[in-house]
Structure 1
Amino acid sequence: MTSLPVCGPEGPLRVPDRPSHPSPVRAVLFDFSGTLFQVAPYADRIRAAMGSPVDESAMDALLAGLEAGLTDPEVVAAQRGRDVSAAAHRHAFTTWYASVPGLAPVADALYEQLRAPEHWRPYADTEAALEALTRQGVALGAVSDVGWDLRATFAHHGLDRYFSVWVHSYEHSTEKPDPALFAYACRQLAVEPAETLMVGDHPAKDGGAAGSGLRSYVLPAGAAPGAVRGLDAVLRLVPPAAL
């Protein structure tokens, strides 16, 4: 392989030529929350956990308390490394919920909702995108920073059949963008990183897959549960002609 000269005060003076045609995408890895699914709104979950009516003013106060809790030092500390184990994940969320006095009695119930398949909704275009990729012969895997096994949630919505590999951060004691997670998914799918696309909604965690030799596509944040997520863009990145 030849090299091209690079002039500069720092770094290598020569870099290898890049191939003129990138490898075709043979596999796509998807993040879970905010990418393929979104959890039900907190107001709905709070009412379900409390088991009694909550008027709008009281609900506004509870939601404001949750928002304020995100800056509470104890809550912030609990979020560090939250996805490296099931125990750390539970602690992170229950600490946050309990930071609101009115929610402290139902903190555990709210966390169990987070793990419950029925409280998650796939985006409106999730299944269509997974079906199209599968029909094109693309292998699919899920790579998520999470504290529980996601297969039951996908199965509840009839979407588990599209996936061959599940990589849960808590089972590997690390979080994205650790190269170990992406490398494990690629090995399980029998593809090279250069043949793999990571799709998510977090620029550092999901976009960080590029540092492991994968391609990456980061969706904009903020899509509501059940909305169209814009996953058709993934299909344009994996054209049938390339397969």
Structure 2
Amino acid sequence: MSGPEGPIRALPSAEVPPVSAVLFDFSGTLFQMASYADRIRAALGAPVGEERMARLLDGLEAGLSDPEVVAAQPARDVSPEAHRHAFTTWYASVPELAPVAGRLYEQLRSPDHWVPYADTGAVLGRLTGAGVPLGVVSDVGWDLRATFARHGLDHHFGAWVHSYEHRTEKPDPHLFHLACRALGAAPARTLMVGDHPAKDGGAAGAGLRSYVLPAGAAPGGVRGLDAVLRLVGRPA
């Protein structure tokens, strides 16, 4: 019998099987984009003073509330076209950036503008060395393998599941199950690691385990991925 706070009598405990495979999100989990200030300078191809840069960054911040930008975001990761439209609409919401909106978007797809967190390589190496199969499950509009290869990290992964290739987004169970099948791993023994409570944490609804990283890591800083090692029984 259950009361308002849960079972009144303790239920028999069941042995929790160990984690045998790990899936990772991409942006905000293993990699972070270069700063917007650096990207804007590169896109404009000219020096940008502090006051002007502050105005441009404030414009991007304000653009997130622009009705046209908001309307472009739903289902943005289900196709390359929707993804490009969502981001270029946002960039173009700042009049001074509208002429280079396409250039800013190509930066987003470029491996050179992505930076792994300081602990990404070491944690992936520990997991691979321990024989733990790894996969990437990302809501994204382009193939991520070139970005991982640019930083010498692609060899760690045996499964690549990009939302745009399957016309759906996390937390659709289909994406998580595709990665599990590619790795030959049972969902109940697979851990999904990401930074979005609804999307990555939603893997629990697909029968996986999930770990959502806390916010606040600086670009290129330590992300706190050593927690994943502990969760799979491989303490740092």
TM-score range, shorter chain: over 0.9
Query: Structure 2 regions of 5+ residues with no counterpart?
Result: none
> Which residue number in structure 2 is paired with residue 236 of structure 1?
230
Instruction: Give me the whole-angstrom Cα distance separating, in 2, the residues matched to 1:192 and 1:25.
Output: 9
Query: Structure 1 regions of 5+ residues with no counterpart?
Result: none
Q: What SS is found at the alignment partner of 2:136? A: strand
TM-score by length of 1: 0.92
Which sits farther off after the overlay, 41-50 or 20-29? Answer: 20-29
Cα deviations by residue, 1:128-150 (Å, 9 ceiling, x for unpaired): 00001111111000000000000
List aligned pairs for 1:62-101, cutoff 5 A.
Answer: 62-101=56-95
> Which residue number in structure 1 is paired with residue 221 of structure 2?
227
> Which residue number in structure 2 is paired with residue 60 of structure 1?
54
Q: Which amino acid aligns with 2:178?
A: Y
Confirm or deny that 1:117 pairs with 2:141.
Answer: no
Instruction: Give me the whole-angstrom Cα distance separating, in 2, the residues matched to 1:152 and 1:207.
Output: 26
Aligned length: 230
Confirm or deny that 1:30 pairs with 2:27.
Answer: no
> Which residue number in structure 1 is paired with residue 34 of structure 2?
40
Q: Which amino acid aligns with 1:196?
A: T
Instruction: Give me the whole-angstrom Cα distance separating, in 1, the residues matched to 2:113 and 2:3.
Output: 55
Show structure 1 runs of 4+ deviating over 4 A: none
RMSD across aligned C-alpha pairs, in angstroms?
A: 1.4
1:221 deviation in Å? 1.8
Residue of 129, 138, 151 corresponding to 2:123: 129
1:6 deviation in Å? 3.9
Q: What SS is found at the alignment partner of 1:83? A: helix
Confirm or deny that 1:138 pairs with 2:132.
Answer: yes
> Which residue number in structure 1 is paired with residue 193 of structure 2?
199
Sort the Cα spacing of 1:135 and 1:19 in 2 relative to 1 into closer, same or farther, 3 A.
Answer: farther
Instruction: Give me the whole-angstrom Cα distance separating, in 1, the residues matched to 2:222 and 2:205.
Output: 29
Instruction: Give me the whole-angstrom Cα distance separating, in 1, the residues matched to 2:230 and 2:12.
Output: 23
Instruction: Give me the whole-angstrom Cα distance separating, in 1, the residues matched to 2:201 and 2:234.
Output: 24
Instruction: Give me the whole-angstrom Cα distance separating, in 2, the residues matched to 1:166 and 1:40.
Output: 23
> Which residue number in structure 2 is paired with residue 108 of structure 1?
102
Q: Which amino acid aligns with 1:116?
A: S
Confirm or deny that 1:211 pairs with 2:168.
Answer: no
TM-score by length of 2: 0.94
Instruction: Give me the whole-angstrom Cα distance separating, in 2, the residues matched to 1:18 and 1:226.
Output: 45
1:81 deviation in Å? 0.5
Q: Which amino acid aligns with 1:120?
A: W
1:222 deviation in Å? 2.9
1:170 deviation in Å? 0.3
Q: Which amino acid aligns with 2:77?
A: D
Residue of 150, 168, 185 corresponding to 2:144: 150
Residue of 138, 155, 159 corresponding to 1:161: 155
Instruction: Give me the whole-angstrom Cα distance separating, in 2, the residues matched to 1:89 and 1:146.
Output: 7
Sort the Cα spacing of 1:228 and 1:54 in 2 relative to 1 into closer, same or farther, 3 A.
Answer: same
Instruction: Give me the whole-angstrom Cα distance separating, in 2, the residues matched to 1:201 and 1:18.
Output: 33
1:188 deviation in Å? 0.8
